[in-house]
Structure 1
Amino acid sequence: MWSLKSWQGRFLPHSGSDRLRSYAGWCNAVEGNTTFYATPSRETVATWAEQTPADFRFVLKLPREITHSHRLADVSGLPEFLRAIEPLGDRTHALWVQLPGSFGPGDLPVLSRFLRGLPGHLRYAVEVRDPAFFHDPHRLEEVLAGVGAEWVPFDTTEFFRTPPTSDAERDAWMKKPRMPLRTVALTDQPIVRYLGRDAVDRTVGGWQRWVPVVAGWLREGRSPTVFVHTPDNADAPALCRRFHDEVRALVPELEPLPVSPDPSSLPEAEGPPTLF
């Protein structure tokens, strides 16, 4: 996710050819949500690698045919996906296995078989959306720990604390899952997804519980990745940097984020935007 229209001219150039490079000047990780809908070509992925530094982190969502249509039972499309992302090399921080809300604790044997059949040189992070997993987390934790996979919490507690007040919030209210809060890391590379509100003060207030948690992980020698969302994501890059600053105030040895580009220096449009 690095081509949001509302970011153009603010965080990214208007031209579609160099947006990822500009995004990497604001943040050092990205959710690869587009791979959920279509597997990109190796040539496209090679341009992603070329536009990002060697330590940039891609958390790439597995295709929906695997996770949702076939519910992990048919992985025939996985080799094509893995070949496509090879140009990223170590930039592939984790493959993100986002499961549908209908995938519950009774499906754990399927998840276990799937994870154990994956290539061992990559890291995996699983996001579940059935609240039953949170009521008795130990069974899922055992499955994930057996293969060194992480459990990705999606913190929507602040978002659902009060009713929506805008069209963007109402749309997200219908689409986003109401998930219990989870702040436990299973591996040395935890991943957190957080959803705030339109109002900056609400978003910042809601993430305050995460600042000491993430700082604690860093002090333990872990290397967390945190993604900050709002209903329209219009200010997400700036909010991510603000969250990073708050964590760095507690852990001064944390490396600073890249120096963000001056928006006035961004080039004007040269053609239609493209993802693939």
Structure 2
Amino acid sequence: MRLHVGCAMWSHRLWPGHRLPSAERLRHYGSWCDAVEGNTTFYATPARDTVESWAAQTEPGFRFVLKLPKVITHERRLTDVGEPLRAFLDAIEPLGPRAHALWIQLPGSFGPADVATLTRFLAQLPRSHRYAVEVRHPAFFTDDRATRLLEATLTAASAEWIPFDTTAFFASPPTSDAERDAWTKKPRVPLRSLALTDRPIVRYLGRDDSTRTVEGWRRWVDVTVAWLREGRSPTMFVHTPDNAEAPVLARRFHDEVRTRVPELDALPEPIPVEPLTLF
């Protein structure tokens, strides 16, 4: 039984580990959280030696949820993507089991009429990886037929549906520059908390006010406890608009769940960052 927690990145200018050399930041982050979203892979396939360094800095049980490049999901919309897909799979091979799931984030325009394309794409993927899909078209959340169609497609491929819960964030108007920026960019879709596999993945967006972030995730504590008792192994990613306290909050989420599920393994103690000196 294990709950993994993480953030949208492993380095942030306001986190203590940011003062470390770039080649050491992931190792430090990995002592705070045991999972991370691979958002950078959306913009470009990383060099294989870069991925080798990621593997070297993390334990085998660390989880990367890696986003497929946008050329596959957004530009070619899952069609005629053999070459970029092969390049991506080759690049991430050094991660081995750390590549927990490949994340297929689809554009908001990808709707129920496109599910057949998704079905064909999932069928061509190698079984050596797990896959998780994030959709943003509102019909998948509000139209029962569209919901069932997508669930059937994902279940047939043993793929997970990643919810991005922004309901707490959009519950009241923004109060900071970071919140105002996120207000125009983050998706507004209804809450979804149904797992399709034994390894559900959740993305949760809170507020810059940590108290409100914690209040907003109460339902996810309940859901996560239930998943663990069912024998599932979930991963929770905690976001806030500025992400300043994201690693601390992710650990707090884990602690809250562990209070209810005492047999859950504790997270490791964070590696201290030694103060910089002149000598």
TM-score (ref. length: structure 2):
0.93
Correspondent of 1:138 among 148, 162, 166: 148
Contact 2:134 2:161 in 1 (8 A): yes
Q: Which residue in the other structure is 2:5 paired with?
A: none
> Are the structure 2 counterparts of residues 175 and 93 from structure 1 closer, same or farther at C-alpha, using a change threshold of 3 Å?
same
- Note if 1:230 corresponds to 2:236: no
Amino acid of the structure 2 residue aligned with 1:16: S
Q: Which residue in the other structure is 2:3 paired with?
A: none
> Are the structure 2 counterparts of residues 22 and 109 from structure 1 closer, same or farther at C-alpha, using a change threshold of 3 Å?
same
The alignment partner of 2:103 has SS state of strand
Give the deviation of 1:266 after TM superposition.
5.8
Q: Which residue in the other structure is 1:4 paired with?
A: 12
Contact 2:106 2:133 in 1 (8 A): yes
> Are the structure 2 counterparts of residues 17 and 219 from structure 1 closer, same or farther at C-alpha, using a change threshold of 3 Å?
same
Q: Which residue in the other structure is 1:273 paired with?
A: none
- Note if 1:46 corresponds to 2:52: yes
> Are the structure 2 counterparts of residues 44 and 240 from structure 1 closer, same or farther at C-alpha, using a change threshold of 3 Å?
same
- Note if 1:103 corresponds to 2:110: yes
CA distance in 1, matches of 2:55, 2:120: 31
Correspondent of 2:267 among 250, 257, 261: 257
Which structure shows the higher helix fraction? 2
Give the deviation of 1:179 after TM superposition.
1.3
> Are the structure 2 counterparts of residues 161 and 40 from structure 1 closer, same or farther at C-alpha, using a change threshold of 3 Å?
same
Contact 1:150 1:187 in 2 (8 A): yes
Correspondent of 1:70 among 41, 54, 76: 76
Q: Which residue in the other structure is 1:216 paired with?
A: 226
CA distance in 2, matches of 1:255, 1:238: 17
Give the deviation of 1:2 after TM superposition.
1.0
Identify unmatched segments of 5+ residues in structure 2.
1-8
The alignment partner of 2:202 has SS state of strand
CA distance in 2, matches of 1:241, 1:56: 15
Correspondent of 1:166 among 140, 158, 176: 176
Greater Cα offset, 170-179 or 14-23:
14-23
CA distance in 2, matches of 1:77, 1:92: 18
Q: Which residue in the other structure is 1:122 paired with?
A: 129
Correspondent of 1:241 among 251, 267, 279: 251
CA distance in 2, matches of 1:117, 1:130: 23
Give the deviation of 1:11 after TM superposition.
4.1
RMSD of aligned alpha carbons: 1.3
Quick one: percent identity of the two aligned structures? Answer: 65
> Are the structure 2 counterparts of residues 93 and 173 from structure 1 closer, same or farther at C-alpha, using a change threshold of 3 Å?
same
The alignment partner of 1:5 has SS state of coil
The alignment partner of 1:209 has SS state of helix
